[in-house]
Amino acid sequence: MQSKQILLITLFICSSIALQNPIFLNETFYPGLIKIKGDSDMFYILFESRSNKTYDPLILWLNGGPGCSSLLGLFEELGPYKITQDNTLTSNPYSWNNNANVLFVDQPIGTGFSSLGTTEIPKTEEEIAKQMHDFIQSFLQIYPKYINRDFYIAGESYAGQYIPAIGSYIIKTGDLQIKFRGVAIGNGWVDPYYQQPAYAEYAYKYNLIDQDTYKATQQQFTICSQYIKTGSTLELLADACETPFNKITEKNNFDIYNYKTPCVNPTCSEDDDDNKVQKFLSRVDVQQVLGVQGRTWSACVDNVYSALSDLENRSSINDLINIVNANLKVLIYNGDLDFMCNYIGSENWVNNLNWKQQSQFQAAQYQTVKLNGKEVGKIKGVSKLQFYIVYNAGHMVPKDQPEVALQLINTFISQESYLRMLKFQILFYLSIYFLAHTVSRFF
């Protein structure tokens, strides 16, 4: 028993040591593994802020799937690097750690570099939330400098299920020593009741189907929504929802994650980038630096997907309402070229979100967002809930529009960071003033 405790303490100490390595371009980062329920663990990489690591907030980033590694977000989207053709790294000037400490976690267990061990894959969002809560508790023990730091959860796609569940659980328990400020969900799968019928509407709006196909699939999706509402069997849901979806996609040569991109292989445009990530993470020297020697990394894993597949038409709205009602900031953003989790479906569920300022939100007008004098999107919001449509971006906004995505997240986290920094500076200069004044009295 004593040897296990010593080993655990040693792992904590080793995990909390900052690394700077030429392979990773000498960026300051912390890789590690945190035990979850017996012999399972979660792999993470923490990157310090390039600006003010001591006071900038902590952002937890989660990719979706379910069963897709958050290292996809790291290397393909918002992390400090991009992978080159010669299997090395180049710096990303639009990384989200420009103004935040960013934590990428492979979850649920069994995803990416995380080990499943003999533990069962969680089969409910409640179990996933509990495991992430346990992870954060252990993380704060290893990195106590983030205790009482501003904390955000961000992610995309199926993370539209993860994030509300985790956020709601954190609020419910109230025992984490963090300042939970809000959540940001990009192209999220949140409420299928509204998002399933949006496939027909989106496809018709962008001339991906003709009018006859639109009418036929619209009727089928109406049945799909009714089955979702009444909690019908998985067999009925599969037939009612997948049939019209396949009717739209099978007749068209487009990437469901960016309809303007031709689909040239079964998984469209994602293969090349995912293969680059896998090739880089298979390097022996890279695995040694990350502490994952002998582990095999996959972009997405089937067993995690299968374990959660029964939740395909689950709504995370109730969890999200708990977050909104807790007066936390909520940012929902969508790339306008994404078919899979398209902005029409997101707009529908956001407008129908049952909260105290629903009518004001529905009446709110979109405001143009500009960057460098160019229109890059539009946003509307009431109080701390905002909905942002990003132009010329697909399913992965930080990948397609990295500069816009950086502006988006910096704006989202800026207020608390700025006020905290201002308060610190005022207190610092006041202390200097009073110290100088006190000393001067003796001369």
| Residue 432 token pair | 């200097």
CA-angle at 83, arms to 116 and 269, nearest 5°:
80
Place of tokens 């405001």: 367
437 belongs to the catalytic site: no
395 belongs to the catalytic site: yes
Sign of the C-alpha dihedral computed for residues 276, 281, 285 and 289 taken in this order: positive
User: Quick one: three-class SS letters along the chain?
Assistant: CHHHHHHHHHHHHHHCCCECCHHHCCCCEEEEEEEECCCEEEEEEEECCCCCCCCCCEEEEECCCCCECCHHHHHHHHCCEEECCCCCEEECCCCHHHCCEEEEECCCCCCCCCCCCCCCCCCCHHHHHHHHHHHHHHHHHHCHHHCCCEEEEEEECCHHHHHHHHHHHHHHHCCCCCEEEEEEEECCCCCHHHHCCHHHHHHHHCCCCCHHHHHHHHHHHHHHHHHHHHCCCHHHHHHHHHHHHHHHHHCCCCECCECCCCCCCCCCCHHHHHHHHHHHHCCHHHHHHHCCCCCCCCCECHHHHHHHHHHCCCCCHHHHHHHHHCCCEEEEEEECCCCCCCHHHHHHHHHCCCCCCHHHHHHCCCEEEEECCEEEEEEEEECCEEEEEECCCCCCHHHHCHHHHHHHHHHHHHHHHHHHHHHHHHHHHHHHHHHHHHHHCCC
Instruction: Name the active-site residue from 56, 150, 338, 400.
Output: 338
Instruction: Name the active-site residue from 70, 168, 346, 395.
Output: 395
Cβ atoms of 248 and 201 closer than 8 Å: no
- Verify cis geometry, omega within 30 degrees of 0, for the bond prior to 108: yes
269 belongs to the catalytic site: no
Instruction: Name the active-site residue from 157, 168, 315, 346.
Output: 157
Active-site residue set: 157, 338, 395
